[in-house]
Amino acid sequence: MDNIVPSIAPMPTLSIASLVLLSFLVWYIQRLIYNIYFHRLAKFPGPKLAAASRWYEGYYDNLVADGGQYMYKVDRLHEEYGCVQTPAIPAPPDSPGLPLAQDLLDKVPYMVDVFGTTLAIFGTEKHDLHRSRRMVLNPFFSKRSVTRLESVIQDKVRQMCDSISEKKGQTIELRHALIATIVDVTTEYSFGRCANTLDDPDFSPEWDQMMRGVSEIVPLARQFPGIVQIAQATPIPVIRILNPILARYLEFEQLVRRHVIEIYSQHTELHPANSQSHTKTGTNTSSIPSEFPPSEKPTQTPAHSIFQQILNNPTTSSSTSSDKSELISRMTQEALSIISAASETTSSMLVTTIYHILANSDIHERLRAELMEAIPRPDDMVEWRVLEGLPYLPERGRE
């Protein structure tokens, strides 16, 4: 007797892939139509392509000229249309009516996820959590704390000036010298251990190359969420083939992580009771390297370093930071954020300021005369409070 139940042939793999692709296209087209005609910002004027998708931003940031052109395009759109609707002007997702005040204070995820530091202050999306994390480090960036750091800054600036003096008659890359100085100050202040980038006669140009190379990935990462996390999970030899500069940054991240683990271990030895709150039962950290290579062994970490401040703060033992692995990741990301922000932004500001001072003879002569009166001997290091009391220099700094 023949089987009356017809056999069901399996769906070909190609048909399944076609169905998935078709479903995605239908969803994406529906999303484009919604953004152009039904989104609450659709009434604002502007190019429909800009309203439809963030690929409009991606085109100008990744494909036009050398990239990073979208902010200039937005300026031109404002001149043409006034108030412009683009997906880069975000709103709470699919939320009817007016956004809540708290929503306006939160960061936009696609703007902060691109750095892979969502546990650090800079990458924290929610306003309340950002404020609580920021309060832990506020004392380190106060005027009083900077004053205590004055001797470290003076030593590094003197070392930079001595290196520049040795290159008299040669052309130097001032940006590299400034970044090396800033990195040495920042690492000593953050870790209790100096990176010693000023020891290189060429001011360790790889730091500038690394920071610039990583920043060039940001526009691409905005269009492809998760690409940074994928890179962090990919073996470094593979990344080195695809992007040597990114591989160098990931190697630096691993070095920072090893140092963070050592600081954490020192802290748990001194405060065993407090350290118990950072460890969940069953947390596996055996894959984390336990120490630096002998040549990279750090000096003893000061009690007032940024890392010690995080570990000693009561909020660190809250439920959001109770996992040891998460705490180590947070401290690693915090260190990377501080070093990156300090070196890139400060050096750019100083290079721009120095250029305009030298390019403007009136400002140059007036500032030089004021400093020569305040510092008769160039080898003398003047305290910050003396420089702050000068009539002209602080005004130029505020500008």
Please tell me which of 197-206, 270-279, 298-307, 319-328 the model is most confident about, judged by mean pLDDT.
197-206
Task: Return all residues near 273 (Cβ < 8 A) that are at least 6 apart.
Answer: none
In this predicted model, what pLDDT tens digit does every residue of 329-366 receive, in sequence order?
888 898 888 888 888 888 999 999 999 999 999 999 99
pLDDT at position 351 is 92
Q: What is the pLDDT of residues 89-146, one digit of tens each?
A: 444 344 444 455 556 678 877 777 788 888 888 888 888 888 888 888 887 777 787 7
What is the C-alpha separation between 146 and 7, in angstroms, rounded? 78
Q: Which contacts of 294-301 are long-range, i.e. CB under 8 A and separated by 24 or more positions?
A: 296/255, 298/191, 298/192, 298/193, 298/259, 298/262, 299/192, 299/193, 300/192, 301/191, 301/192, 301/193, 301/263, 301/266
CB neighbourhood size of 309 (10 A): 17
Closest to 222 in 3D by CA, of 124, 125, 115, 114: 114
Instruction: For residue 75, give the 3-state DSSP assignment.
Output: helix
pTM more than 0.85: no
Alpha-carbon distance 211 to 195, whole Å?
15
List Cβ neighbours of 234 (8 Å cut-off, separation of 6 or more). none
Higher pLDDT, 17 or 164: 164
State residue 3's pLDDT score: 56
Q: What is the DSSP string of 182-198?
A: HHHHHHHHHHSS---GG
Give the model's pLDDT for residue 251.
92
pLDDT at residue 177 greater than cutoff 90? yes
Residues in contact with 179: Cβ distance below 8 Å, sequence separation at least 6, in sequence order: 197, 203, 204, 207, 208, 211, 343, 347
- 167 compared with 380, residue with greater pLDDT: 167
Q: Average pLDDT of the chain?
A: 78
- pLDDT for res 199: 93
159 in Cβ contact with 198 (< 8 Å): yes
Q: What is the pLDDT of residue 130?
A: 85
Two tokens at 61? 């940031």
Query: What integer pLDDT is reported at residue 236 of this predicted model?
Result: 92
pLDDT at 342: 85
